[in-house]
A and B are shown apart, each in its own frame.
Chain A
Amino acid sequence: MEEKLHTLVALVQDEPGVLTRIAGLFRRRGFNIESLSVGHCEQHRLSRMTIVVKGDDAEVDQVTRQLDKLINVVSVTDITRCDMVARELALIKVTATSEDRSEIMQMVDIYRAKIVDVAPDSVTVEITGGEDKIDSLLTLLRPFGITEMARTGRTALIRGAKSSINN
C-alpha cells in the first residue's frame, strides 16, 4: 500500500507524562512522527495535538487505534481526507548583506511573510502557511544563506462548523 503523510488530531488530557506516553507509543510500535505540535485548546484541561505521521492507510489506522486506547487520549481522528486548514509557522534567519536585503524583502512580501528581526548582516523571517509554501520560500532564500531555522510542525483544523474531533 502507498505510504503518505497523514494528519491526526488528538485531544489529550493536560497531565504530566502525556507527551511521553504518546511519543513512547509511536516509538514502540515502530512509527515515525514527522511532526507534532501541541498546545491548549478551547476545552478546559485538554490540549490539542496535531501529529503528522507517514505510513500506508492500514498502518496509520493501527496507530490511531493504539493512540485512542491511551487513557489520557480523549479522542483522535485522522483528518487527512477532510477538507482542512493546515498551517505551520517557521522562523528563518537569513544572511542579508545590504545589497541582498531588498531582494529578500521582495520575496518576503510575495509570500506574505514578515521580517521580525533585523541585524546588520541578517534578517529573521516569519512565515505561516502550508508546508509547500514554506518549502518554496526556503528554496528561494537558501542561496542567500540560512543560518538558523525553526519550524513548528503542522497544526490543523477541519473547515466548516464541524469539530475536527468526533467525540
Chain B
Amino acid sequence: MNRTGAQILCESLVREGVEVIFGISGGTVIPLYDAFSEYPQIRRVLVRHEQAAAHAAAGYARTKQKAGVCVATSGPGATNLVTGIADAYMDSTPMVVITGQVATSFIGKDAFQECDITGITLPIIKHNYLVHDVRDLARIVKEAFHIAQTGRPGPVLIDIPKSVQMAVTEFEYPDSVDLPGYKPTAEPDYSHVTCAAELLNRAERPVIMAGRGVIVSQAYEELRQLAEMYQAPVVHTMLGLGSFPPQHDLDLGMIGHHGTVAANKTVQAADLVLAVGTRFGDRATMRTRDFAPHAVVVHIDIDPAEIGKNVIPFASVVGDAKTVLNMLIPLVQPAVRPEWIQQIRTWRSTHPLVPCARTSKLSARTVIRNVCRSADSHTVIVTGVGQHQMFTAQEYMSPRTNGLISSGGLGTMGFELPAAIGAQLASPEDAVWVVAGDGGFQMTMQELSTVVQEGLSIKIAIISNGYLGMVRQWQDLFQQRNYVDVALHAPDFVKLADAYGITAMRVETEEEIGPALRKANEHSGPFLIDFVVDAEENVYPMVAPGASLDCIIESPEKVAA
C-alpha cells in the first residue's frame, strides 16, 4: 500500500513499539503531526521547549530501558534539542530524535529555518541520518532504533525534509538491518574471562566498581551474586547508583569527587578493582594517575573504546555486563575475608554523612535524606545538577533498582523536571520525585505546564538555598569566598505552582518535613514543596579538583586520615 513519508514514519514507530513521543510542532513537521493524528496508539506529549522534549525522552528511556522518542521542527526546534542530545550521548541513553528539515530542493540555500542539524550533532551523537529519498525512510527508522538500543546505547537523529514527509511510496518495514560497520556486542572472549577470574581468585582486598552499564544490561542479580559469593564490597559511579541495594552490608555508596569516605578509601586500599560498565569518568576516579594505586584493575565494558581510554586496566573483557558476569561467576572461587570486610565496615561506620548547615535554617542534606528515606521500591527519584544532586546521590537509599535518574556526564541543569515527565510516563504506576535546585529548576520550570496538561502526579522538592550552590561552594573553598554571580533571585515557587494549578507548600523547619512529604505522596495530583534551606551548607565529603581519591575533605574542619 502506498503511503506518505509521514505515514511511513508513524507505521515504523508503531512497529518499534513506540508508545510516547515528546515534541513541539512547526513548519517542517506539519505533515508529520498531521499523520500522527491517525495514530492514537502513540501518545503525543506537547512540551514547552524542545530541550525538555529531549530530556523527557531521556527520562522515559532510562526508566523504561528502551529508546525514548522526541520530535522537533527544523532550525530553532532542532537546535533546542542539542543539549538534550549531548546529555543522552554522555549518559549512553537510547533515544531516537526526529527533526523536520526544509524540502530537499531548499537544502543548502539558507532557506527559512534551515539548519544543518546532522552537522551540528555529529560529535554528540551515536549516529544520524538526513533522509534524501522517501524509499529509504523505513530502513533508516529501523536502523536508528537498532543502533540506539543495542550495544552501548545512545541517541540517533533522523532529519526528514518536509518534501520526504509528503512524498509517497510503497511501505514495507524491513525485518532486519544490514549494517556491516556496526558491531554492537562482541561475544566475550573466554580466555579474557578466565584471565579476569584468575586475578580475582588471587586478590585479597577486592572491590567492585559498578557503573551504569550494570543497569543498562540489567545485571543486578549477577552483580549481587558475585559480590556476596566473592565477598567484595561494591562502590558506584554516580550513574551506577541503583544497580546494587544501598542497604546491603557490602554497599559503600558512591566514589569520586563527592564519594563517601568509605568508598574512596576502599578503592585506594584495594588490591583489585573489578570495574563493570563504567568509563572511569574523571569525577569518579579523580586524578587518574593516583586511582587505586595498589590495585590490579579488571575492566568489563561493552564498548571496546573504553578499555584503556582513561584508566589502563591490567585485564579486560569486552562484552555485555550480564553476559560477562554470568561467564565469570562460575570461575570465581567463593571467599571469606573477614578482615577486609571488617575494615570497610569500620570506614563506613566511622565516617557518617552529617548535615552541616551553618545557621539554624534547614539543612539541605536533612531534607534530601528524608526524601530518599521515604522512597520505596515504587519511587523514582530524578535530580537536577548541583549540591542537591550530590546530596541525593550520597543519601540515595532506595530499594528500587534503577531508581535514580540524574544527568551525569554532561551535568545538565534543567534536566530534572522534563526527565521526570518522561520517567512518569514510562512508569505511570510509580511515584516520581524531583529533587531540584532553585537555580536549575528555573531553567526548565515552564514544563510545570506540561505536567498539568498531561495530568501527571509528579512530586517536586525544590531545595531553595538562594544560590547556584555548587558554584558557590567552589568559590567558597577555592576562590576565597569571592562570590561572583551565584546569589540568585527566584520567584515565589508556591505562588508559581499555584499559577499553574499545582498544589504547593513551603517548608522551613525540620518538624514539617515528614508531614509535608506524606501530604505530597497522598495528594492525587502533582505537588510542589519549596524547602527553604541554609544558604551555605557545603557538600562533604569532597575530593578537591585535581586531587587523588584519598585526599578527602570530610568537613570544613576535618581532612579524613
- CA distance in complex: A49, B258 (Å): 45
Tell me, yes or no, whether B127 is within 8 Å of chain A by CB. yes
- CA distance in complex: A74, B309 (Å): 22
Identify which of residues 62-82 in chain A touch chain B, using a CB-to-CB cut-off of 8 Å.
62, 65-66, 68-75
Would you give the shortest CB distance from A106 to chain B, in whole angstroms?
49
| A62 engages B127 (CB within 8 Å) | no
Tell me, yes or no, whether A145 is within 8 Å of chain B by CB. no
Which 3 pairs between the two chains have the least Cβ-Cβ distance? Answer: A65-B305, A74-B181, A71-B127
Question: What are 20 inter-chain pairs, A to B, with CB distance below 8 A?
Answer: A13-B180, A13-B181, A17-B118, A20-B119, A21-B122, A24-B123, A25-B123, A58-B308, A58-B312, A65-B307, A68-B304, A69-B303, A69-B304, A69-B305, A70-B181, A71-B147, A71-B181, A73-B181, A74-B180, A74-B181
Q: Which of B123, B126, B181, B309 is within 8 Å of A62, CB to CB?
A: B309
- CA distance in complex: A58, B181 (Å): 23
Identify which of residues 23-38 in chain A touch chain B, using a CB-to-CB cut-off of 8 Å.
24-25, 28
Would you give the shortest CB distance from B164 to chain A, in whole angstroms?
15
> Which residues of the other chain, B, contact A121 by a CB distance below 8 angstroms?
none
> Which residues of the other chain, A, contact B561 by a CB distance below 8 angstroms?
none
> Which residues of the other chain, B, contact A72 by a CB distance below 8 angstroms?
181
Tell me, yes or no, whether A61 is within 8 Å of chain B by CB. yes
Tell me, yes or no, whether B183 is within 8 Å of chain A by CB. yes
Tell me, yes or no, whether B179 is within 8 Å of chain A by CB. yes
B156 nearest CB neighbor, chain A only: A71
> Which residues of the other chain, B, contact A12 by a CB distance below 8 angstroms?
181
- CA distance in complex: A20, B122 (Å): 9
| A61 engages B308 (CB within 8 Å) | yes
- CA distance in complex: A75, B182 (Å): 9
> Which residues of the other chain, A, contact B308 by a CB distance below 8 angstroms?
58, 61-62
> Which residues of the other chain, B, contact A75 by a CB distance below 8 angstroms?
181
- CA distance in complex: A72, B182 (Å): 8
Would you give the shortest CB distance from A6 to chain B, in whole angstroms?
16
- CA distance in complex: A69, B183 (Å): 8
A65 nearest CB neighbor, chain B only: B305
Would you give the shortest CB distance from A105 to chain B, in whole angstroms?
48
| B122 engages A66 (CB within 8 Å) | no
Question: How big is chain B's contact interface, by range?
Answer: 20 to 34
Would you give the shortest CB distance from B233 to chain A, in whole angstroms?
30
- CA distance in complex: A25, B122 (Å): 9
- CA distance in complex: A70, B128 (Å): 11
> Which residues of the other chain, A, contact B309 by a CB distance below 8 angstroms?
62
Among B122, B147, B181, B307, max chain A CB count under 10 A is at: B181
- CA distance in complex: A73, B312 (Å): 25
Identify which of residues 139-160 in chain A touch chain B, using a CB-to-CB cut-off of 8 Å.
none
> Which residues of the other chain, A, contact B305 by a CB distance below 8 angstroms?
62, 65-66, 68-69
| A28 engages B123 (CB within 8 Å) | yes
- CA distance in complex: A71, B130 (Å): 14
Besides A17-B130, A62-B308, A69-B304, 17 other CB < 8 A contacts?
Answer: A13-B181, A17-B118, A20-B122, A24-B122, A24-B123, A28-B123, A65-B304, A65-B307, A66-B305, A68-B183, A68-B304, A69-B305, A71-B126, A71-B127, A71-B147, A71-B181, A71-B182
> Which residues of the other chain, A, contact B180 by a CB distance below 8 angstroms?
13, 74
- CA distance in complex: A61, B308 (Å): 9
- CA distance in complex: A164, B147 (Å): 27
- CA distance in complex: A30, B208 (Å): 32
- CA distance in complex: A159, B181 (Å): 24
Would you give the shortest CB distance from B67 to chain A, in whole angstroms?
16
Residue-wise interface mask of B (306-329) relative to A, using a CB-CB cutoff of 8 A (1 in contact, 0 not):
011100100000000000000000
A67 nearest CB neighbor, chain B only: B305
Identify which of residues 55-114 in chain A touch chain B, using a CB-to-CB cut-off of 8 Å.
58, 61-62, 65-66, 68-75
A74 nearest CB neighbor, chain B only: B181
> Which residues of the other chain, B, contact A62 by a CB distance below 8 angstroms?
305, 308-309
Identify which of residues 161-205 in chain B touch chain A, using a CB-to-CB cut-off of 8 Å.
179-183
Among B123, B180, B309, max chain A CB count under 10 A is at: B180
Would you give the shortest CB distance from B343 to chain A, in whole angstroms?
34
A13 nearest CB neighbor, chain B only: B181
A23 nearest CB neighbor, chain B only: B122
- CA distance in complex: A24, B182 (Å): 19
B147 nearest CB neighbor, chain A only: A71
Would you give the shortest CB distance from B143 to chain A, in whole angstroms?
8
> Which residues of the other chain, A, contact B130 by a CB distance below 8 angstroms?
16-17
Among A17, A20, A24, max chain B CB count under 10 A is at: A17
Residue-wise interface mask of B (104-148) relative to A, using a CB-CB cutoff of 8 A (1 in contact, 0 not):
000000000000001100110011001000000000000000010
> Which residues of the other chain, B, contact A21 by a CB distance below 8 angstroms?
122
- CA distance in complex: A71, B147 (Å): 9
- CA distance in complex: A17, B116 (Å): 12
- CA distance in complex: A65, B308 (Å): 10
Residue-wise interface mask of B (344-362) relative to A, using a CB-CB cutoff of 8 A (1 in contact, 0 not):
0000000000000000000
